[in-house]
Amino acid sequence: MKEGKNGLCLPTSGFITAKKTEGEPELVHEGESIDCNLCGGSEEIELYNTSNYGVQFRIVKCKNCGLAYINPRLSAETIEKMYSSRETIKLGFAVSACGLLAINPLWHDARFRKMEMHYKKVNPSYTTGRALKFLDWGCGTGRSLDFAKKRGWESHGIDISDWAVEKGRKEGRDILLTNLENSPFEDGFFDIILMSEVIEHVTDPMHELKVARRKLKPGGIIVVDTINIDSFFMKYLGDKSTFIEAGHITYFSYRTLRETLEKAGFKVLKGYRGLEIDLKDYIKIYQGSLNNKVGFSIELALTALRKIGIGNFCFGGISFYATK
Task: Name the residue range of residue 112's domain.
Answer: 105-226+260-323
| Residue 13 confidence (pLDDT) | 43
Average pLDDT, integer, range 263-286: 88
- Quick one: pLDDT band at residue 6, thresholds 50, 70, 90? very low
Quick check: is 13 in a domain? no
Highest-scoring range by mean pLDDT, 81-85, 102-106, 128-132, 243-247: 128-132
Three-class DSSP labels, the chain: CCCCCCCEECCCCCEEEECCCCCCCCEEEEEECCCCCCCCCCCEEEEEEEEECCEEEEEEEECCCCCEEECCEECHHHHHHHHHCCHHHHCCCCCCCCCCCCCCHHHHHHHHHHHHHHHHHHCCCCCCCCCCEEEEECCCCCHHHHHHHHCCCEEEEEECCHHHHHHHHHCCCCEEECCCCCCCCCCCCEEEEEEECCCCCCCCHHHHHHHHHHHEEEEEEEEEEECCCCCHHHHHHHHHCCCCCCCCCEECCHHHHHHHHHHCCCEEEEEEECCCCCHHHHHHHHHHHCCCHHHHHHHHHHHHHHCCEECCEECCCEEEEEEC
Residue 29: band (very low, low, confident or very high) from pLDDT cuts 50, 70, 90: low
Does residue 193 fall inside a structural domain? Answer: yes
In a domain, residue 138? The reply is yes
**Contact in structure between 235 and 108 (CB atoms under 8 Å):** no
Name the residue with higher pLDDT: 256 or 5.
256
Structural domains counted in the chain: 1
8 A C-beta contact, residue 266 and residue 323: yes
Tell me if 56 sits within 8 A of 50, measured CB to CB. Answer: yes
Work out whether strand 313-314 and strand 309-310 pair parallel, antiparallel, or are unpaired: antiparallel
> Is position 279 within any domain?
yes
Mean pLDDT of the chain: 83
Angle between helices 143-150 and 105-122 in degrees, nearest 10: 60
Give domain status of residue 199, yes or no.
yes
Q: Domain of 292: which CATH number?
A: 3.40.50.150
Q: Is the dihedral of CA 208, 210, 214, 216 positive or negative?
A: positive
What confidence tier does 101 reach under pLDDT thresholds 50, 70, 90?
low
Nearest to 118 by CA among 265, 223, 227: 223
Tell whether 18 is covered by a domain.
no
User: What is the structure's pLDDT at 70?
Assistant: 92
Contact (CB, 8 A) for 255 and 66: yes
User: Average of pLDDT values for 189-204?
Assistant: 94
Residue 112 lies in a domain: yes
Q: How far, CA to CA in Å, does 160 sit from each of 12, 230, 252?
A: 28, 29, 22
- For residue 293, pLDDT over 70 is answered with yes
Distance between CA atoms of 154 and 210, rounded to whole angstroms? 23
Q: What is the pLDDT of residues 208-221, one digit of tens each?
A: 999 999 999 999 99
For residue 279, what pLDDT is reported? 83
296 pLDDT higher than 50: yes
- Amino acid symbol at 98: C
pLDDT tens-digit map of 105-132: 888 899 999 999 999 999 999 998 899 9
In a domain, 133, yes or no: yes
| CA separation for the pair 193, 202 (Å, rounded) | 16
